[in-house]
Chains A and B, each alone.
Chain A
Amino acid sequence: NAGVMQNPRHLVRRRGQEARLRCSPMKGHSHVYWYRQLPEEGLKFMVYLQKENIIDESGMPKERFSAEFPKEGPSILRIQQVVRGDSAAYFCASSPPAPSGGVSGQFFGPGTRLTVL
């Protein structure tokens, strides 16, 4: 049973370009979470999705950022018109059908490291 998969692992973009980060949850997991981790800072929640629904996007900036988890295919975190401050590690996590992982915790992917030049 493969774990949570994220791609690409490293992404370099110039200011103003778009970044698309993909996440395939563990098999059987229907809850997906995106987090951002800046150097010297902790993991910050961005958005929580279930299939075709955004449940909580309170941690995601209102502009330039969007997320989706379609019926088929991976979850996508999209950042439009990237700026240098978007440089960070972005982690995706998934959990079985229980919010916040319930008793089983959340399973994290290896992350995508975004560098904005």
Chain B
Amino acid sequence: SQKIEQNSEALNIQEGKTATLTCNYTNYSPAYLQWYRQDPGRGPVFLLLIRENEKEKRKERLKVTFDTTLKQSLFHITASQPADSATYLCALENQAGTALIFGKGTTLSVSS
């Protein structure tokens, strides 16, 4: 079955630095990978989707890469701000294409 691992549970960085979060997966290769943000007590919010044939995707200060050979996605937040502090989840579609499988998330804390 599909497995997703996010490399660390917590990441602490200083304001202005670039945060880099890692998502690794095993078994089959998905057609695309998604990233979500979750704040305490709230539901996840969709941020970005990257397809298997896209090496990189950008949205404002966010950048996602997708390496299907390494079976890895990197999520970058440049010029990080305290407001970026949240838990970030990566998600893949299951093999049947009927559901998302989520990683446990990485909790990012940006200090000023």
- Cα of A58 to Cα of B32 in the assembled complex, Å: 21
Tally of chain A residues near chain B (CB < 8 A): 27
Decide: A101 and B46 in contact? CB cutoff 8 A. yes
* Interface check A59, CB cutoff 8 A: yes
A-B contact pairs, 12 of them (CB 8 A): A42-B103, A48-B98, A48-B99, A55-B98, A56-B96, A93-B43, A100-B94, A100-B98, A107-B46, A108-B44, A109-B43, A110-B43
Chain A interface (Cβ < 8 Å from any Cβ of B): 4, 33, 35, 41-45, 48, 55-56, 58-59, 91, 93, 99-101, 103-111
Q: Known contacts being A42-B89, A42-B103, A100-B93, is A106 close to B46, with CB within 8 Å?
A: yes
Q: A44-B102, A100-B93, A101-B34 are in contact. List 10 more A-B contacts (CB 8 A).
A: A41-B104, A43-B100, A45-B101, A55-B98, A59-B99, A91-B43, A105-B47, A108-B36, A108-B43, A109-B43
B99 CB contacts on chain A under 8 angstroms: 33, 45, 48, 56, 58-59, 100
- Chain B residue contacts of A58, Cβ below 8 A: 99
Q: How far is the CA of A100 from the CA of B100 in the complex (A)?
A: 6
Q: A-B pairs with the 8 shortest C-beta distances?
A: A105-B46, A108-B43, A56-B98, A42-B104, A45-B99, A43-B102, A100-B93, A42-B102
Residue of A nearest to B30 (CB): A100
Q: Are B34's CB and A105's CB within 8 A?
A: yes
Interface centre among A41, A43, A58 (most CB of B within 10 A): A43
Q: Which residues of A contact B45 (CB under 8 A)?
A: 108
Contacts of A103 in B (CB 8 A): 32, 49
Q: Which residues of A contact B89 (CB under 8 A)?
A: 42-43
Q: CA of A110 to CA of B94 in the docked complex: distance in angstroms?
A: 23
Binary flags per residue of B76-102, CB closer than 8 Å to A gives 1, else 0: 000000000000010001101111111
